[in-house]
Structure 1
Amino acid sequence: MSKVLIVEDDPMVGLINKKYLEQMGIMTSYGPVMIEEEVFKYVESEKIDLILLDEYLPQKKGMDILKALRDKGFYCDVIMITAANNQNEVEKAYAYGVIDYLIKPFEFERFQEAIEKHLKRRQWLNNKGTIKQVDIDRIEERDETNIELPKGKNKRILDKIIAFLQQEPEKVWTLRELAKAIQISNVTIKKYMDYLEETQQIDVKLTSGNVGRPEHQYKLKSNQYKI
């Protein structure tokens, strides 16, 4: 489970970010905090995986805190969530290694997309010894840009399902369990699981359910994390 630190001086935005994380249900959040000393305290004591970082803070700008983190060898993922939208700020943020940049105000779906990007990166990097080019391409999503999904399927929903499966890649799931956990209807998730089966990204086994009816069980294929 990822540990997320919210660095934000607006109590309402900090509360929204925390609720969004709770809604996704796959990480532990800390904060919000707003000064550099508190950021370093959490990064050092809790081994933070991801920082949601605002730029406009009361004492020191978020970008300066980010630079200080990098200078001291802390390479946790960072997502900027800020009203700063000029080209220089965005360019500098990516130069310091942020994995995504959200401009306030933003929708939950865009927030979710950024978090799922972090989860995908973390899954790959934590489970790899020697990194191959194909691994880097998948982390950077270069092999996804030209994917055309069949009609009636939404890439964001597909990404959400795969990001969820990646949390416990060895676990076997039924449709009902997946639908309840991801909060998607049985009918909808079946369409996407069929697609993942067709593209050989999951293993599927048919077993007898609790009432004797056939029931499909799904498991992410070993080393298959392509979306």
Structure 2
Amino acid sequence: MSAPIRIIVAEDETLVRSALVKIISTQSDLQVVAEAANGPEAVKSAQRFRCEVVLMDVRMPGGDGISATAQLRALPNAPQVLVLTTFDLDDHVFAALEAGAAGFLLKDTDPQRLLDAIRAVAAGEGMLAPTVTKRLIDRTRERATAAKSNNAVTKLELLTAREAEVLHAVAQGMANEAIARHLFMSTATVKTHVSRILAKLELENRVQAALLFRDARR
């Protein structure tokens, strides 16, 4: 038989910590090697006892779980950290994940799901509560959109004021003749501006230019 997965339970509430230890101890392939009442104690325990997983609370007097997670992940042979908390606030979720946590579950998680999550993170897999997964996807999409928008804004700064006006009209779907009437210039001049806009922005056609303009306005 393979050696059991060694676990440190970091939780400031004694009753909750005892319950977690009891649940874990029912499994022959899991072993609690230490308990901690706060983040610093968890780090010290990980330095003293070899372990594969630290079950970490977020809010603990004497040292929070977020900073402790970052310290644990910086250790040689760093253990995986599975955050278990009552709070599923975005700040906690993303701070924990950015600190290096491999998973994030709520304390009302079914015991079997908790045990499966411990095994999963020990194997190098991620584990997130369903509500957290959706928000993480949404936040990633928002960040990607923001980055795309910032890139578009930077590119449009290459244009002159007049070229920006022409691009705005192009983005509205106006043809060259309509743009010429709208901006009081000749059609030939509009064509020249459009060509320069595409060249400056390294685009191939008006559709790409319109999309870039749209991204800049998000």
The equivalent of 1:95 in structure 2 is: 98
Q: How big is each residue's C-alpha offset from its partner over 1:95-151, in whole Å with a ceiling of 9 and x where there is no partner?
A: 222221111222112212212213433xxxxxxxxxxxxxxxxx569xxxxxxxxxx
The equivalent of 1:47 in structure 2 is: 50
The equivalent of 2:120 in structure 1 is: 117
Residue pairs, 1:183-198, within 5 angstroms: none
Q: How big is each residue's C-alpha offset from its partner over 1:159-194, in whole Å with a ceiling of 9 and x where there is no partner?
A: xxxxxxxxxxxxxxxxxxxxxxxxxxxxxxxxxxxx
The equivalent of 1:23 in structure 2 is: 26
Q: Aligned pair in 2 of structure 1 residues 89, 20: CA closer, same or farther (>3 Å)? A: same
User: Could you tell me which of 61, 64, 68 is aligned with 1:61?
Assistant: 64
Q: How big is each residue's C-alpha offset from its partner over 1:72-107, in whole Å with a ceiling of 9 and x where there is no partner?
A: 556211100111211121112112222211112221
The equivalent of 1:35 in structure 2 is: 38
- Judge conservation of contact 2:11–2:38 (CA < 8 Å) in 1: no
Percent identity reads 18
User: Could you tell me which of 6, 9, 25 is aligned with 2:9?
Assistant: 6
The equivalent of 2:85 in structure 1 is: 82
The equivalent of 2:138 in structure 1 is: none
Number of aligned residue pairs: give it: 124
Write the letter of the residue equivalent to 2:21. K
- Cα distance between partner residues in 1 of 2:117 and 2:23: 12
- Cα distance between partner residues in 2 of 1:17 and 1:67: 23
- Judge conservation of contact 1:83–1:103 (CA < 8 Å) in 2: yes
- Judge conservation of contact 2:67–2:99 (CA < 8 Å) in 1: no
- Judge conservation of contact 2:13–2:37 (CA < 8 Å) in 1: no
Whose strand proportion is higher, 1 or 2?
1
Q: Which runs of 5+ in 1 are unaligned?
A: 122-138, 142-227
- Cα distance between partner residues in 1 of 2:59 and 2:126: 28
| Deviation at residue 54 of structure 1 after TM alignment | 0.3
Write the letter of the residue equivalent to 1:48. C
Q: Which runs of 5+ in 2 are unaligned?
A: 128-218
- Cα distance between partner residues in 2 of 1:47 and 1:72: 11
Instruction: Give the root-mean-square deviation of aligned CA atoms.
Output: 2.1
Q: Aligned pair in 2 of structure 1 residues 64, 74: CA closer, same or farther (>3 Å)? A: farther
Q: How big is each residue's C-alpha offset from its partner over 1:26-85, in whole Å with a ceiling of 9 and x where there is no partner?
A: 122034311344223321221121100001111111101112223455621110011121
The equivalent of 2:161 in structure 1 is: none
Larger Rg over CA atoms: 2
3-state secondary structure, aligned to 1:117: helix
Write the letter of the residue equivalent to 1:110. R
